[in-house]
Structure 1
Amino acid sequence: MASSSVSLRGAILQRPHLTPRPAARRAFTTRRRAVPAKISCVGWDPEGILGAPQGGHIARLEFRRRLERDSEAREAFERQVREEKERRRNEREARVIPDTDAGLVEFFLDTDAREIEIEIGRLRPRLSQDFFGHISREIAQIKFAVTRTAEMEDRLIELEAMQKVLLEGVEAYDKLQKDLVTAKERLMKILQSSDRKSTLLEMVERNELNISILTLLDENIASAKTSNQDEAAAFMEDVRSSLVKYITI
């Protein structure tokens, strides 16, 4: 599987209306690409193995059909996905996380755009008000400078775009964590209920049943089967058959 790496800094600076300038201090100006890369802050594929959404719907369908028909092609594709995932995991773990807010700014600017979601989750405690305050102060310093160089203009674009991506990413991550906690609590309530039907009906009335609970239950079923906990898996599958009656998928 071909792999291309575009840092957040490089993706931000891929603007056709900018005239390329020689790098003065930072190497990032040499990382501009002719084809813009789309930054997807939060999506269904946090590992980014399949890359950003692209055109060619018919071609993708044909590729998917070929994988379904050809077991060797499917195995090769799955192997490439695993290898790419492992490569990116190793690269991620090898990166040194800075101790300062200034260093963390550069860390995110140099992060592969596809890795932003994962790094937001990994470094969420560091993405505090103090950190975003540091970014805002640097933005203000550039905006209110008496004179601004071309390098300062590029820096301003980088910082404002990164600030937006990180703020949106943090908001989505926090919501996801909150939803996950709620789903766990509601699933536990269902699993521990002595009168499952009554419990489900009460939860329906309070609009407490959603696809997140079903997804979490499916994950627990898969985990139980992997661990050879057949009795637990069978019990949860029975719960699932009751749950799906009250959830619109």
Structure 2
Amino acid sequence: MATSLTLKLTTASTLSRFHSTKFTKPRNLTTKIRCIGWDPEGILRAPQTGHIAKQEFKRRLEKDAEAKEAFERHVREEKEHRRALRESRVIPDTAAELVEYFLDTEAQEIEFEIARMRPRLNEEFFLHLKGELGKLRFAVSKTQEMEDRLIELEALQKALQEGTEAYDKMQDELVNARKNLMKILTSDNVKTTLLEMVEQNELNRSLLTLLDENIANAYHANQKQAAEYMEKLRGAMLKYITV
């Protein structure tokens, strides 16, 4: 009986302490999400950077367009400047004046002036130039001015001789290219014609360049069918062409 009473008292005391105990929530409890590797609902999405990227691309495109426009404007202005400069030059009448004309020509304009003045660059002109060079070379007493003049005329003579030879060769190739292109365009059997031209070494870059010009002109004139046909010919020519 005493034992039973003691057990009841002990149990009652224990329960009394249990119910009197208070569980207090921590005051400064901060919940942190360290990592989320699974988000099937798409609640926590990655930052959307597409709009920023599109804006950056647009700005870069506009900048490139402005740069391209500025470059094209510069090219047009340069062409106009050169055209005006060429038209403003007075064509010389004599061989002596023609020598001075070429001495005053800029290096990048020499080829153009040789083409324009080719009929004047004849035997008479080169004899005059050779005569002036002879006087300077065999002069008894030479000044610095004469030495400089001699160097200039020697350089001019070489440039004009090489330039006229190159121009004449180009003109001959152009004439042959026109003839050969007509042969191809009027051929009943293009493949056979090309093979024959390969044997005669008639397929070259001059012919290809002329064909390219005709293709561009055909497209410009809205002759699409003719342009496409010539493009097919171009593809066939590239199989056999030699440099």
Q: Normalization by structure 2: what TM-score?
A: 0.71
How far apart in 1 are the matches of 2:184 and 2:239?
A: 14
State the 1:199 CA deviation. Answer: 0.8
Provide the rounded CA distance (Å) in 1 between the counterparts of 2:242 and 2:165: 26
SS at match of 1:70: helix
Are residue 217 (structure 1) and residue 211 (structure 2) matched? yes
2:72 corresponds to: 78
Q: Please name the residue that 1:88 is paired with.
A: 82
Higher normalized contact order (CA 8 Å, seq sep 6+, divided by chain length):
1
Query: Once the 2 structures are TM-superposed, how far is the Cα of residue 144 of structure 1 from its aligned partner?
Result: 1.5
Partner of 2:153: 159
| CA positional deviation for 1:197 | 1.1
Determine which of 190, 193, 198 is the counterpart of 2:192. 198
Paired position in structure 1 for 2:224: 230
Q: Indicate yes or no: 2:103 matched with 1:113.
A: no
Alignment match, 2:10: none
- Alignment length (residue pairs): 183
Q: How far apart, CA to CA, are the structure 2 residues paired with 1:176 and 1:213?
A: 11
C-alpha distance after superposition, 1:138-187 (max 9, x if no partner) = 11111112211121111111111111111111111111111111111111
Residues 36-93 of structure 1 show CA distances to partners (whole Å, capped at 9, x for unaligned) of xxxxxxxxxxxxxxxxxxxxxxxxxxxxxx99x9232122112201210110111111
Does residue 196 of structure 2 align to residue 178 of structure 1? no
Alpha-carbon distance in structure 1 between the residues aligned to 2:70 and 2:127: 47
Report the secondary structure of 2:239's partner residue.
helix
Match of 1:131 in 2: 125
Aligned to 1:24: none
Aligned twin of 2:51: none
TM-score by length of 1: 0.69
Contact 2:95 2:128 in 1 (8 A): yes
Residue 122 (1) aligns with residue 116 (2):
yes
Percent of matched pairs sharing the same residue: 64
Amino acid of the structure 1 residue aligned with 2:136: I
Q: Distance in 2 between matches of 1:246 and 1:74?
A: 37
2:95 is aligned, of 101, 104, 110, to: 101
The unaligned stretches of length 5 or more in structure 1 are: 1-65
Match of 1:188 among 150, 175, 182: 182
Tell me which protein shows more helix as a share of its residues: 2
Q: 1:79 to 1:156 in 2, by over 3 A?
A: same
Distance, in Å, in 2 between the alignment partners of 1:186 and 1:248 is 15
TM-fit CA distance, 1:248:
5.6
Q: Is the 8 A contact 2:203 2:242 kept in 1?
A: no
Amino acid at match of 2:142: R
The alpha carbon displacement at 1:198 in A equals 1.0
Q: Any gaps of 5 or more consecutive residues in structure 2? A: 1-59
One-letter amino acid of the structure 1 residue matched with residue 73 of structure 2: R
SS at the partner of 1:246?
coil
Residue 233 of structure 2 corresponds to residue 243 of structure 1: no
